[in-house]
Amino acid sequence: MPNSEFSIHNSELKPYRVIISGGGTGGHIFPAVAIANELRRRHPAAEILFVGANGRMEMTRVPEAGYRIVGLDITGLQRRLTPQNLLFPVRVFRSVRKAGKLLEEFQPDAVVGVGGYASAPVLLAATSRGIPSLIQEQNSYAGLVNKLLARRVSKICVAYGGMEKFFPAEKLVLTGNPIRSEIAQGSREEALRFFGLDASRPVLLVVGGSLGARTLNHATAAALPRLKMAGVQLLWQTGKLYYPTAREDMEPYPGTGLHALEFVQRMDLAYAAADVVISRAGALSVSELCLTGKPCVLVPSPNVAEDHQTKNARALVDQDAALLVTDAEASLRLYDEALALLGNPARQQQLTTSIRRLAHPNATTAIVDELEKLMVRPTHS
């Protein structure tokens, strides 16, 4: 990028321009949107462009959040040998070239990568042009793209301590994961009314991510008689695919306080109602549990890259901030652990105290603080 264009663009008359790249899952998309919202709150005139992967969730979720997005034809490497893997180098080359053209046209002050397929080409193109760049790593075990690009980028914002084993220590800033602050502001009284629950009986919340989790759903369906007998109330987010079967499973239990829900729109109220939570251990879920301070039993998904959910869960277990049941053990042990915890208020309080220490309520503002430092423009006399 010629110096004359750069200096003109960086005059104080121009609004900030930022590209945010990545996606693939809600765990990447929601933090990206949170960063964009905070940047726009501080700088209403800022121009923000998202870059995602065609066919992935971000191509619909980002426009729903009110931002423009451009798609790249990029996919990840498959774990087995497939024809798609043979095309991978070609797709990367084309995506880097397209990303370069986007950078030349948009002329961003900085680029943010949140992980996922699309962040690699954009960060490669940006760092090769000397554009300030920031990575936001959500997990306790760094993703492959972020590890490969760590030495090229300007700053790396992380959610866990000890990340110098993956990244250059001098680039690290411990910020936490950006999540909606209102997630921890739900009123228990409102939550009980909203879900039609009895204030005198314990509440168990089961969440397997927006798509649902087969292991959690099967274990929960099998445990319904035990929950009824124990007088436990249930908020069970099943996911769209599993909801019809779960609704049938619920037919013998009308008026018992056991509820199957396809999707929970008001997660703030679901957390406020819950005494104990059963959850997968994705980065976003773990961050929400820390902020809400909920005693939880984590069941990491085995179907993720580098088994990072187990590492997320271990980071909490090592601080006595959560219980862990493996996916393979869930059918036998999950509800033994959950019911024992529901019946032990003292243990619940211990876990709450520990998990709250790991919360980063100001994560989004901390990340945008770092981004602003990268976008400092030269002063003109």
Tokens in use for 6? 């750069």
What proportions of the chain, in percent to the nearest 5, are helix, strand and coil?
Answer: 50, 15, 40
Q: Extract the annotated binding site for UDP-N-acetyl-alpha-D-glucosamine.
A: 25-27, 139, 180, 210, 283-288, 309
Euclidean distance between CA atoms 187 and 71, whole angstroms: 39
Q: Are 121 and 96 in contact (CB under 8 A)?
A: yes
What's the angle, vertex CA 336, arms to CA 331 and CA 337, rounded to 5?
105
Query: Averaged in consecutive runs of 10 residues, what is the pLDDT profile of the chain (381 residues)?
Result: 40 82 84 94 97 91 95 66 54 80 96 90 95 95 88 96 95 93 91 97 91 91 98 96 95 96 94 98 94 97 86 96 98 98 98 97 96 80 43
pLDDT at position 75 is 63
> Domains of the chain by range and CATH?
3-177+362-374 (3.40.50.2000), 182-356 (3.40.50.2000)
Strand partners, 174: 158
Of 103, 105, 111, nearest to 154 by C-alpha is 111
pLDDT at position 212 is 77
Length of the chain in residues, anyone?
A: 381
Of 35, 43, 38, 210, nearest to 115 by C-alpha is 35
> pTM of the entire structure?
0.85
Count CA atoms within 13 Å of residue 381 on its CB side: 0
Strand partners, 237: 207, 261
Q: How far is CA 177 from CA 7, 106, 152, 286, in A?
A: 33, 27, 22, 9
Euclidean distance between CA atoms 235 and 197, whole angstroms: 10
Contacts of 52 (CB under 8 A, 6+ apart): 21, 22, 23, 58, 59, 62, 69, 70, 71, 72, 116, 118
Q: Extract the annotated binding site.
A: 25-27, 139, 180, 210, 283-288, 309
DSSP string, 244-277: HHHHHHHTT-TTSSEEEES--S-HHHHHHH-SEE
Type and span of the H or E element at 99:
helix 83-106
